[in-house]
Structure 1
Amino acid sequence: MKSIATKLTDVQTRISEAILHSQATQKVQLVAVSKYHSVDSVRQAVAAGQIAFGENYLQPALEKIDALSALSLQWHFIGPLQSNKSKAVAENFDWLHTLDRLKLAKRLNDQRPQHLTPLNVCLQVNISHDPAKSGLAVADVIPLAQQISQLPNIKLRGLMCIPMQKQGFEAQKQELLPMQDLLKQLQQICPDADTLSMGMSGDLEAAVAAGATMVRIGTDIFGPRPDPKYNEA
């Protein structure tokens, strides 16, 4: 069985090859999705050089953040966030990838401690128009961005999506390409917006070709999710 360190190297190689193959010019950051996995697994990834970790479930994430507080890690909240749990994210995370409403943005802005830098946020976009998925309609992105850009304690860094699953590189790429155009529109009002958070284990290569600057990889680093499953939202 491959170690976490070896699997991290394999994923980084996939990213490098995807950049080369698609002649991409952007840098691509790897966020290791550690949801469901133990503190020890995260430590193994850190020992192999990984610093950015993604979590979907708040309570297990806070336990990991506390256990690993002596390390200089970057924590990304990548799951749906209820308004009544925003304070913990504002106080403990570096990034939120799933912002989709002004009420939540205002809560995060008010709850971000003054001694911390602004919380980096991405607007989640329902790029596939899938009624089963969360996120903003494309037409709602710029109006919300204009309002959020006025909040001093959060920093709008870009866009995130979880596309409808497609088979094959070209189909996956075509599903994601509209995100690149949408980011360019966003940059007209938020020049610092530089992030496209998209691409997971099954569509990493297509995401890089479509302009991803941040990919969220879990299974190909940590393996299948263990039992018991976390149920906390």
Structure 2
Amino acid sequence: MSSGETSARNGSRQPLVAVLSGAGISTDSGIPDYRGPNGLWRRDPEAEKLVTYEYYMSDPEIRRRSWQMRRNSPALRAQPNPAHRAVAELERSGVPVRVITQNVDGLHQLAGLPPRKVLELHGTARAVMCTRCTARSEMAEALGRVAAGEDDPPCRECGGILKSATVMFGERLDPDVLAQAMAIAQACQIFIAVGTSLQVQPAASLAGLAAEHGARLIIMNAEPTPYDDVADEVVREPIGTALPALLERLLP
């Protein structure tokens, strides 16, 4: 057991635990991953166009297909699984926890984590935004318009093109969110990368940044990652059972 884990148990200064979560943490909730052996991008490379900014903005047919994809997406119907709930339970126990997620499903918040403690690197699929005036509204409202017959609903404020409030291929990450994520990686004592291939930058570099600043690096993923060699612990067990067991060791 590390010194950070010991301090969490004996009631003295508790370690800051950072959790970087990827698609693998949500597969038990019925949301398929994208880059795994059976991932969406491998099964249907054309699907990438539906979430690529250039194609989306220039082609009304791509937008119509994108709205139908959102209507049928399991992400908005999914519920948190034991892995999400274990992270929320650790936070409720009093251990300082920050989640940096590559997911857009909002399941960490649904599991009970305060939204201010979740950094969504790639945005959220639960909201839409106007590409012209940046007005935001609920995804459910936009999907209701699609269901009522609007194939490509425009912004109610200015008539601009609406898109999911996610970071599409070809868009930059929010620099403020990324800066906060980097600060957390540098400050934490324990950094757990769970369900992520650690291949997509700049998110993947957070694992290395945490290790460079002295954090205990734990990687939990079904497939090897580029950062396994610098990790203190690598876990290949199913996330739904392995993450709750790991986090139980950190409970005060």
Which structure has the larger Rg over C-alpha atoms? 2
Q: Same fold (TM over 0.5)?
A: no
Bin of the TM-score, shorter chain as denominator length: 0.3 to 0.5
Q: Normalising to structure 2: TM-score of the pair?
A: 0.31
